[in-house]
Amino acid sequence: MAKISTNSLNLWYADFHALKDVNISIEERRITAIIGPSGCGKSTLLRTFNRMNDLIDGVRIGGQILIDGRNAVEPGVDLVALRKKVGMVFQRPNPFPLSIYENIVFGEKVHAGKISRDKLDGIVEYSLKSVLLWDELKDKLRKSALSLSLEQKQRLCIARLIAVQPDIVLMDEPCSTLDPQATARIEELMRELKNNYTIIIVTHSMQQAARVSDDTGFMLLGELIEFGKTQDIFTAPKNKQTEDYITGRFG
């Protein structure tokens, strides 16, 4: 069974038809990249997986989004539980104006209620080690998270997500504000994290998709034009529109 699959997924922003009959099947513990030109529906598709689009007035969804076999758009879905299971890292790092420690335990306090200090300490250490920040920050846990570098902030946001133990990590252009060296380190982190998580990344960079992903989907005007193994998409695309995009003929 796929970790995530969609069946005839459609989405409208009021009268604008943003996603058109999208059918995709995403396997567990792999990195899936979604590529395509600006405005093609990449981020909209990503945000359907944890229902973030619901926060926008006038949004309507048709079809199915199956996560571990359960339809995430059926009536009565617990959105808090869904967004704990399917976490998201945004384009710009968004640490809370709190200490490094309090940033990481924030979600656990919300979801778990009363929890011992020893357990919180363990969560902080595990989460920071998972994003390779423990050695850098273990003596600075009371410092403001806003004092960190841009790359450290993005890693901290990933650690904050890992602390609540999601199954799936969505990343919407997570390296767009980073320099090449920081981007390379975040990409290395993605490869480490896929041993434990299913990762879906939206990126404008075809080079990044080629470097880090196992599977790639190409979107155009709200449609999923082609989806397959990354190597096949970039070396032997089946669709002429995919070939034109990856060879730079448009986009």
pLDDT in 10s for each residue of the chain, 251 residues: 799 999 999 999 999 999 999 999 999 999 999 999 999 999 999 999 999 999 899 999 999 999 999 999 999 999 999 999 999 999 899 999 999 999 999 988 877 767 899 999 999 999 999 999 999 999 999 999 999 999 999 999 999 999 999 999 999 999 998 999 999 999 999 999 999 999 999 999 999 999 999 999 999 999 999 999 999 999 999 999 999 999 998 77
What pLDDT was estimated at residue 114?
79
For the chain, what are the domain ranges? 4-246
Helix/strand/coil (H, E, C) string of the chain?
CCCEEEEEEEEEECCEEEEEEEEEEECCCCEEEEECCCCCCHHHHHHHCCCHHHHCCCEEEEEEEEECCEECCCCCCCHHHHHHHEEEECCCCCCCCCEHHHHHHHHHHHHHCCCCHHHHHHHHHHHHHHCCCHHHHCCCCCCEHHHCCHHHHHHHHHHHHHCCCCCEEEEECCCCCCCHHHHHHHHHHHHHHCCCCEEEEECCCHHHHHHHCCEEEEEECCEEEEEEEHHHHHHCCCCHHHHHHHCCCCC
Q: Which residue has the tokens 């730079």?
A: 248
4-246 CATH, one of 3.40.640.10, 3.40.50.300, 3.30.930.10, 3.30.360.10: 3.40.50.300
Question: Angle 197-224-235 (CA atoms, 0-180°, nearest 5)?
Answer: 80
Give every CB contact of residue 78 below 8 A, 6+ residues apart in sequence: none
What pLDDT was estimated at residue 231?
97
Q: For the chain, how long is the longest CA-to-CA vector?
A: 57
